Structure 1
Amino acid sequence: MTQTTNRFFDDFAKLMTDAAGAADGMKRETETFMRGQAEKFLRDMNVVVREDFEAVREMAQKARQENEALALRIAALEAEVERLKRA
């Protein structure tokens, strides 16, 4: 009886191990499929990737800073022109 009980538990443990492995494999396949579908959806919706967004944001910040510097320079030049007109 002990022999068959051990055999039963061994077979049951093997079955559970195989089932866990199969479930893990299905999980990985499902994740891969869902990731692929999400990427396709985002691509079809013309959503920008993070790296491109960050690059454009940096360009916009730099342009804003340059515009502010140019506005200050123009204001200074206009003030100088007005001073020269009065002199």
Structure 2
Amino acid sequence: MQNQNAILEDLARLASSVAGTVAGAGREAEAKLKEKLREAMGGVDMVSREEFEAVREMAANARAEVAALRAELDALKAKG
């Protein structure tokens, strides 16, 4: 009986060790993938969310202004 308990304890330690090793390998793989992605994206120009939102707002304002000018031009054409 003592022998079986010792075997079970050894198996439990082995399983715990394997789980720790697998988790460590997963973290290492994730870190390497992130590093490779950063290297690959190095030549790509990225903008921040704030810059994107500012340009999007500017574009919306420009579209609204163009629509207003178009309406004004159409009104002038109709008069003329």
TM-score of the pair, normalised by structure 1: 0.68
Helix, strand or coil: the match of 2:26? helix
1:59 has 2:33 as partner: no
- Give matches, 1:7-46, under 5 Å: 7-44=6-43, 46=44
TM-score of the pair, normalised by structure 2: 0.72
Across the two proteins, how many residue pairs are aligned to each other? 79
Over alpha carbons, which structure has the higher Rg? 1
Helix, strand or coil: the match of 1:48? coil
The Cα of 1:24 is off from its aligned counterpart by 0.7
The Cα of 1:54 is off from its aligned counterpart by 4.1
- Give matches, 1:70-85, under 5 Å: 70-80=69-79, 82=80
The Cα of 1:53 is off from its aligned counterpart by 7.8
Q: Unpaired segments of 5 or more residues in structure 1?
A: 83-87
Q: Percent identity?
A: 32
